[in-house]
């Protein structure tokens, strides 16, 4: 397979059209067979439910080349499960798990020429999504849906090493109690666009969101879960019903306990105790872990002892172990690596 002529280290995180995408249609209460198609454009009615009432959810995962030359992706079954949960909350039909994983594999294989080589740091980002497509004007769920998967090559998240970032505490809330914070819905991102632009205008890389009911507990950022390391090397991650259950974070908790022998705790984390932690990181598919060196808020700032030059030592071990598992350098737990080719 001839790879595309792409400068893998320079591409960044943007959309690049690839050759094939997967489409399945839901109509009259059932999904059709689904197929790979060439057309990257979608034609829909002006009154489509997704356009009027934002009935849409998505997933995100990556395919990449391992050290021994296989093309694989990481725990796609968990993306399938999470999309089922998102769809249930949005009154959308569920897309069967086995078909989801099969479709991910098909679309990656069809775009094999865009899967970056081992060692480039680049990956093929995979975006499954579903939306209500028939006209809806009285507020109700659509009757017809499209499930799609496209892929786009993305560059290494960190060019020249992972430098710790400075984040701020948002004055806005991300998700209401008993709202939709725990599902991967486009609507959670629409309302985060203004806060993140404000954060960027003020010189911060990300927003930390607090629980909206009391604004005393840490939830997550717009698109990544928090991990904290105590001074005794315990791994702590916030617990809340409105945090999106990150697959990266859940995997890192297993890595911490089973591979590194660390104590792992999921509990409510109060903003007031952050100053006592030794390290802080943000977890998600895109970066695996982004180290946080500093948190700025209205009345002051928190500087983690790990500093602004490099990842803290435990964060680094977590990062290296999980990326080692993903790239085939370290043996993976049963079922974590889905071999595509
Ligand atoms: C997608 C997402 C994450 C990260 O989840 P991963 O499965 O690790 O990629 C975290 N928070 C939010 C709000 C997200 O949408």
Closest Cα to residue 103, out of 41, 40, 35? 35
C-beta atoms surrounding 98 within 10 Å: 9
What's the token pair of residue 276? 């006592």
pLDDT for the residue 61: 98
Ligand 1 pocket, CB under 6 A: 60, 184, 220, 223-225, 244, 246-249, 283-285
pTM of the predicted model, to two decimals?
0.97
Domain boundaries, the chain: 21-154, 165-326
| pLDDT tens sequence across 144-191 | 999 999 999 998 777 767 899 999 999 999 999 999 999 999 999 999
Quote the CA–CA distance of 164 and 152 in Å, as a whole number: 26
Architecture of the 21-154 domain:
2-Layer Sandwich (3.30)
Closest Cα to residue 115, out of 202, 28, 47, 20? 20
C-beta atoms surrounding 20 within 10 Å: 20
C-beta atoms surrounding 141 within 10 Å: 14
Quote the CA–CA distance of 70 and 61 in Å, as a whole number: 17
What is the DSSP-derived secondary structure letter of residue 100?
H
By most ligand atoms within 8 Å of CB, the mutation choice from 79, 252, 284, 318 for ligand 1 is 284
By most ligand atoms within 8 Å of CB, the mutation choice from 285, 288, 290 for ligand 1 is 285
pLDDT for the residue 1: 77
User: To the nearest 10°, the Cα dihedral for 187, 191, 193, 195?
Assistant: -150
pLDDT for the residue 160: 65
17 has catalytic annotation: no
Closest Cα to residue 126, out of 167, 94, 98, 154? 154
What CATH number is given for 165-326 in this structure? 3.20.10.10
pLDDT for the residue 42: 98
Quote the CA–CA distance of 341 and 339 in Å, as a whole number: 6
Ranges of residues in the chain with a pLDDT under 70 are 160
Q: How far is the CA of 285 from the centre of ligand 1 (A)?
A: 7
Q: How far is the CA of 59 from the centre of ligand 1 (A)?
A: 9
Q: Which of 20, 62, 105, 184 is catalytic?
A: 184
Atom of ligand 1 nearest to the CA of 250: 8
């Amino acid at each position: 397979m001839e790879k595309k002529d792409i400068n893998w280290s320079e591409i960044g995180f943007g959309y690049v059209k690839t050759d094939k995408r997967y489409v399945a249609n839901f109509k009259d209460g059932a999904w059709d067979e689904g197929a790979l198609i060439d057309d990257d454009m979608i034609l829909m009615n002006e009154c489509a439910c997704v356009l009027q009432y934002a009935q849409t959810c998505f997933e995100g995962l990556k395919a990449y080349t391992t050290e021994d030359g296989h093309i694989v992706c990481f725990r796609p079954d968990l993306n399938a499960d999470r999309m089922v949960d998102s769809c249930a909350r949005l009154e959308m039909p569920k897309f069967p798990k086995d078909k989801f994983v099969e479709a991910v594999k098909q679309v990656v294989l069809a775009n094999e020429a865009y899967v970056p080589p081992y060692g480039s740091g680049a990956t093929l980002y995979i975006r499954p999504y579903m939306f209500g497509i028939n006209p809806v004007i009285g507020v109700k769920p659509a009757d017809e849906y499209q499930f799609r998967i496209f892929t786009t090559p993305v560059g290494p998240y960190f060019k020249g090493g992972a430098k710790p970032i400075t984040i701020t505490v948002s004055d806005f809330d991300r998700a209401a109690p008993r709202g939709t914070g725990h599902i991967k819905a486009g609507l959670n991102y629409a309302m985060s666009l203004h806060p993140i632009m404000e954060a960027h205008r003020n010189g911060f890389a990300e927003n930390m969101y607090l629980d909206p009911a009391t604004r005393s507990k840490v939830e997550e950022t717009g698109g990544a879960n928090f991990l904290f390391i105590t001074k005794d090397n315990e791994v702590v991650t916030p617990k809340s019903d409105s945090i999106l259950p990150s697959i990266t974070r859940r995997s890192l908790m297993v890595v911490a306990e089973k591979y590194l022998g660390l104590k792992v705790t999921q509990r409510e984390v109060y903003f007031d105790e952050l100053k006592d932690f030794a390290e802080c990181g943000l977890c998600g598919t895109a970066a695996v872990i982004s180290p946080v060196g500093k948190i700025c808020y209205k009345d002051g700032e928190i500087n983690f002892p790990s500093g602004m030059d490099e990842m803290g030592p435990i964060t680094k071990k977590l990062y290296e172990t999980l990326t080692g598992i993903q790239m085939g350098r370290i043996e993976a737990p049963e079922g974590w690596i889905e071999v595509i080719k």
